[in-house]
Amino acid sequence: MSKLWGGRFTKETNKLVEVFTASINFDQKLAFEDIEGSLAHVQMLSECNIIPKNDAETIKNGLLTIKQKIENGEVQFSVENEDIHMNIEKLLIDEIGPVGGKLHTGRSRNDQVATDMHLYLRNQTLNIIELVKGVQTALLQQAEEHVHTILPGYTHLQRAQPVSFAHHLLAYFWMFERDKDRLQDSLKRINWSPLGSGALAGTTFPINRSKTAELLGFDKVYPNSMDAVSDRDFIVEFLSISSLLMTHISRLSEELVIWSSQEFQFIELDDSFCTGSSIMPQKKNPDVPELLRAKTGRVYGNLVGLLTVLKGLPLAYNKDMQEDKEGMFDTVETLDGSLRLLAPMIETMTVNADKMYAAVAQDYSNATDIADYLVTKGLPFRQAHEVIGKTVLYAIEQKKFLLALTMDEYKQFHELFEEDIYDVLQPKNVVEARNSEGGTSSEQVKLQIIVAKQSLQ
Ligand code: ARG
């Protein structure tokens, strides 16, 4: 088969080289973006009188026919035509004849592929923002139902202070809010148009880059053609934001795994989101959060992979850059699938408020509160800490929780203790007492829910 670039060659391409250098097996995902870019390009060529109007019309109609055929699954892409750009150009020429060859006037595959990637990532970023919102909505729904549900809050995975379950869930809401913010911000840079930069140096034709940028909905054109065709920062940025997003998904997933274990039993995932064991009939495994945790690895890998490809590349385009695609597609698919599962899994999980409360009632996580109690009675905090440390040690030795110590026992440690200490120690009061801004009291959590709702609108 003759190549679109065959003129300068005297030999057929080695078959292995053809397969090795082809990207069509994966970049066919860009087919519609490629056609979108071509439609804008040909429109501009015609408006700038670079090609005749009727030729432009023929090309546009040809491109639309090919689009339709791709949608109908009637198109076979070929490795001989290397990538999506040359495949579509070949299909166009087959469809409308030699006039199709005018499409590539004043353009190179280098600015073409960059344009496709910008268009693709813009669509996907908008899609992922919506999916993150879905997860936030599910977290918010559960939070609204569990403002008064109390569970141990942990540091070092040791019980630290009791918190509202809503407060714990909303911590993830804000992580996702920042991810969304980063995605939104990255759109500013994704939305630059490389089209019209040619191979690297611009073109001899009197093109209008602002026109194609406008037609494609880009905010501005790259001011430098060499930068335009070699820039993959926007993909690195996407992979890096995705890595952080996956980190958050993974941390939340880890908590779901722990909470649904027999040891905790704080939550139960819905049957429809779990799987069984082929040998142990009693098992109900949290495979989904486990896989979400694990899939974080491939997203980090994709980030490091692309950074490594780009490191040390001279200007301008290098074939190395073709390796920017699979990691990006894989990341998009991983995120899309993960977020689509995470939202309904959170929505449908059952929360065992009794188990959570039972855990809080059987620990020493109200110790800070007795320290604070002595402080309000005038003792410096450091001294209070020391006194309570001894009190807790004594209680542990007696195998008693703090609520079970008698007044006489308390008095042994400090004369400032009085009957009201037993109120202070109630888990509910411990939570409600943390009414500082952003704290876990129900008043603060309700305020937080209002702000969270506003940011979702
Ligand atoms: N398939 C190529 C890529 O993805 C398109 C650009 C090829 N340009 C070239 N001069 N070989 O990077």
| pLDDT tens digits, 141-186 | 999 999 999 999 999 999 999 999 999 999 999 999 999 999 999 9
The more confidently predicted of residues 49 and 275 is: 49
Q: Are residues 366 and 376 in the same domain?
A: yes
Closest by alpha carbon to 76, among 94, 60, 56? 94
CATH number of the domain residue 62 falls in: 1.10.275.10
The mean per-residue pLDDT over the stretch 276-293 comes to 91
Q: Are residues 440 and 389 in the same domain?
A: yes
DSSP structure class, residue 155: E
Q: Which two tokens stand for residue 408?
A: 């006489």
Those residues with Cβ within 8 angstroms of residue 53's Cβ, 6 or more apart along the chain or in another chain: 46
Task: Report whether the peptide linkage leading into residue 367 is cis, meaning its omega lies within 30 degrees of zero.
Answer: no
Q: Are residues 391 and 348 in the same domain?
A: no
- pTM, two decimals, is 0.95
Q: Of the residues 88, 105, 122, which one is the last residue of a structural domain?
A: 105
Q: What distance in angstroms lies between residue 405's CA and the mean position of ligand 1's atoms?
A: 75
Q: What distance in angstroms lies between residue 95's CA and the mean position of ligand 1's atoms?
A: 23
Mutation probe of ligand 1 site: the residue of 38, 309, 319, 323 with most atoms within 8 A of C-beta? 319
- Predicted confidence band of residue 1 (pLDDT cuts 50, 70, 90): low
Closest by alpha carbon to 66, among 31, 115, 98? 31
User: In terms of residue numbers, what domain contains 55?
Assistant: 13-105
Q: Kindly state the percentage of the chain with pLDDT values over 90.
A: 95
Q: What distance in angstroms lies between residue 110's CA and the mean position of ligand 1's atoms?
A: 6
Question: Is residue 3 a part of any domain in this protein?
Answer: no
Query: Do residues 323 and 309 lie in contact, with contact meaning Cβ atoms separated by under 8 Å?
Result: yes
Q: Are residues 95 and 123 in the same domain?
A: no
Q: Are residues 73 and 133 in the same domain?
A: no
| Residue 450 exposed, middle or buried by CB count within 10 Å (0-12, 13-18, 19+) | exposed
Query: Do residues 146 and 169 lie in contact, with contact meaning Cβ atoms separated by under 8 Å?
Result: yes
pLDDT digits (tens, 9 = 90+) for 85-105: 999 999 999 999 999 999 999
DSSP element (H, E) containing 191: none
Question: Is residue 454 a part of any domain in this protein?
Answer: no
Q: What pLDDT score was predicted for residue 276? A: 87
Question: Is residue 284 a part of any domain in this protein?
Answer: yes
> In the structure, which protein residues have their CB atom closer than 6 angstroms to any atom of ligand 1?
23, 27, 83, 85, 109-110, 113, 317, 319, 321-322
Query: Do residues 85 and 93 lie in contact, with contact meaning Cβ atoms separated by under 8 Å?
Result: no
Question: Is residue 6 a part of any domain in this protein?
Answer: no
Q: Are residues 54 and 175 in the same domain?
A: no
Q: Are residues 167 and 277 in the same domain?
A: yes
Task: Give the chain's end-to-end CA distance (angstroms, integer).
Answer: 55
Residue 192, pLDDT above cutoff 80:
yes
Q: Are residues 220 and 260 in the same domain?
A: yes
Query: Do residues 220 and 249 lie in contact, with contact meaning Cβ atoms separated by under 8 Å?
Result: no
- Predicted confidence band of residue 281 (pLDDT cuts 50, 70, 90): confident
Question: Is residue 5 a part of any domain in this protein?
Answer: no
Q: What distance in angstroms lies between residue 112's CA and the mean position of ligand 1's atoms?
A: 9
Q: Of the residues 105, 124, 145, which one is the last residue of a structural domain?
A: 105
Q: What pLDDT score was predicted for residue 158? A: 94
pLDDT digits (tens, 9 = 90+) for 383-407: 999 999 999 999 999 999 999 999 9
pLDDT digits (tens, 9 = 90+) for 143-153: 999 999 999 99
Q: Are residues 211 and 234 in the same domain?
A: yes
CATH number of the domain residue 243 falls in: 1.20.200.10
Q: Catalytic positions, please?
A: 156, 277
Q: What pLDDT score was predicted for residue 278? A: 85
Question: Is residue 128 a part of any domain in this protein?
Answer: yes
Mutation probe of ligand 1 site: the residue of 109, 112, 226 with most atoms within 8 A of C-beta? 109
The mean per-residue pLDDT over the stretch 71-89 comes to 97
Q: Are residues 232 and 378 in the same domain?
A: no
Domain count of the chain?
3
Q: Are residues 147 and 274 in the same domain?
A: yes
Q: Are residues 364 and 247 in the same domain?
A: no
Q: Of the residues 342, 358, 374, which one is the last residue of a structural domain?
A: 358
Least confident piece of the model among 21-35, 339-353, 359-373: 359-373
pLDDT digits (tens, 9 = 90+) for 245-266: 999 999 999 999 999 999 999 9
Q: Which two tokens stand for residue 9?
A: 């060659």
Q: Which two tokens stand for residue 367?
A: 């110790």
Question: Is residue 149 a part of any domain in this protein?
Answer: yes
